[in-house]
């Protein structure tokens, strides 16, 4: 399992529009690629001066599907995000390989 985490810090002026777009369009577009089986939207705790931070975690069953997403889908989807919220966000991405799961 591959976890693809995108952390986005936003200007509070665009927070509501960004959340609406993420919930109604972008996350669904990413899932519709078939490269991920699940996504979670989280608010990062802690106050930032003039901003808020969210993390979107996508779950991919394999590194091959994650690589397919990066090669075939990510550029267009990331460009759409940049065009809509240019100058109002900063993002960084992290890839995690799940080595073991513990559940109750």
CATH of the domain at 23: 3.30.70.100
- Does some domain include residue 82? yes
Q: pLDDT digits over 36-53, tens only?
A: 999 999 999 976 677 899
* Residue 104 lies inside a defined structural domain of this protein: no
Note whether residue 102 is domain-resident. no
- pLDDT of 27 reads 98
Is the separation of the CB atoms in 38 and 58 below 8 Å? yes
Q: Does 70 fall in a domain?
A: yes
Domain hosting residue 71, numbered range: 2-97
Residues composing the chain: 104
Whose CA is closest to 90, among 16, 27, 14? Answer: 14
Quote the number of domains for the chain: 1
Q: Which residue ranges of the chain lie beneath pLDDT 50?
A: none
Q: Rounded to two decimals, what is the model's pTM?
A: 0.92
What is the per-residue pLDDT for 46? 79
103 part of a folded domain: no
């Amino acid at each position: 399992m591959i976890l693809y985490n995108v952390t986005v810090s936003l200007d509070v002026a665009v927070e509501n529009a960004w959340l609406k777009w993420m919930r109604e369009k972008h996350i669904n577009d990413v899932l519709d690629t078939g490269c991920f089986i699940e996504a979670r939207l989280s608010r990062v705790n802690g106050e930032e001066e003039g901003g808020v931070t969210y993390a979107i975690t996508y779950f991919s069953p394999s590194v091959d599907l994650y690589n397919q997403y990066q090669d075939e889908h990510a550029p267009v989807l990331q460009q759409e995000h940049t065009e809509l919220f240019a100058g109002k966000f900063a993002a960084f991405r992290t890839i995690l390989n799940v080595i073991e799961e513990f559940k109750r």
